[in-house]
Amino acid sequence: MWLNSKTLYPCYYCHHQHFKHDISSYADGRMLCKDCVRHIIVSSENLNIVAQWVLQQIENLGFKFTRGYTHVSLISKEKMKNLGFDHAEGLATNTVSHHLFLQDQHIHAQINVIYGMPTANLVWVLSHEIGHVLVSQHQYKFNSMAQEEGFCQLMALLVSQKSQNPLMPRVLHKEFNNPDPIYGGELRKAYAQYQQQGFSVYFKNFI
Ligand SMILES: [Zn+2]
Ligand SMILES: [Zn+2]
């Protein structure tokens, strides 16, 4: 019997297994396969191109997103950790003004995403974070934080399904099979409701 002793490493972004010589590493420990390395986003120009495309898809779903009050930036994994979100790939911070007798009002938002992720992952992460901004702009009310995460994950899924990026099938598979009860579990729950009822009925449950 012959055993292959060569170790396979999972790519941080697409979860495909590769031999060591097909893997590159960032200083912060992320290991990327040769396919993902070809698609990494490291400039704000490219970040903005992806963000504009994502916004267009969200508008095509029928949502009204108020443009001009949301800033998108690339940050290091270290900076994300310092912000208190060690494992987050993206983070949306909404600034809202509170009124005593009126509904709270969204002022602006800052979206931070990790520097150097591949385009397909960025499409997913940006759609999710723009989902949180949309929720804040319209002051949609959810029963729980988990349900809001499910909504943002569903948004990410519906936008990502429109993408022709060659690595998107891997990202869709990875996200849909995520064992995490929030990011995976709530996504599967939201997706099942969306398929059963259609988007507008699913959506009416919380607006
Ligand atoms: Zn990969
Ligand atoms: Zn979220």
Q: Which ligand is nearest to the CA of 124?
A: 2
- pLDDT at position 207 is 64
SS3 state at 116: coil
Dist. CA 39 → ligand 1 center (Å): 10
**pLDDT value at position 118?**
98
* Residue at 54: amino acid letter: V
User: What's the Cα-to-Cα distance from 9 to each of 13, 39, 50, 124, 185, rounded to whole Å?
Assistant: 12, 19, 28, 23, 26
Tell me the CA–centroid distance for residue 85 and ligand 2, in Å.
Answer: 11
Q: Is residue 154 very low, low, confident or very high in pLDDT (cuts 50, 70, 90)?
A: very high
SS3 173: helix
DSSP conformation class of 7: P
| Residue 73 bridge partners (DSSP) | 112
pLDDT per residue as tens digits for the range 116-136: 999 999 999 999 999 999 999
Q: Is the pLDDT of residue 3 over 60?
A: no
Is pLDDT above 80 for 150?
A: yes
C-alpha distances out from residue 83 to 106, 113, 116, 178, Å = 22, 12, 18, 24
> How many angstroms does the Cα of residue 113 sit away from the middle of ligand 2?
12
Q: Looking at residues 98-122, what average pLDDT do you find? A: 93
pTM, two decimals, is 0.93
Integer Cα distance of 112 and 97 in angstroms: 21
Q: Which residues place a Cβ less than 5 A from the ion ligand 1? A: 11, 13-14, 33, 36
The pLDDT of residue 203: 80
The answer to whether residue 1 scores a pLDDT higher than 70 is no
- Beta strand 70-75 with 105-114: parallel, antiparallel or unpaired? parallel
Average pLDDT over residues 147-175: 97
In the predicted model, what is the mean pLDDT of residues 139-165?
Answer: 96
CA of 65 to the centre of ligand 1 (A): 32
Per-residue burial over 163-188, b = 16 or more CB atoms within 10 Å of its CB, e = otherwise: bebebbebbbebbeebeeebbbbbbb
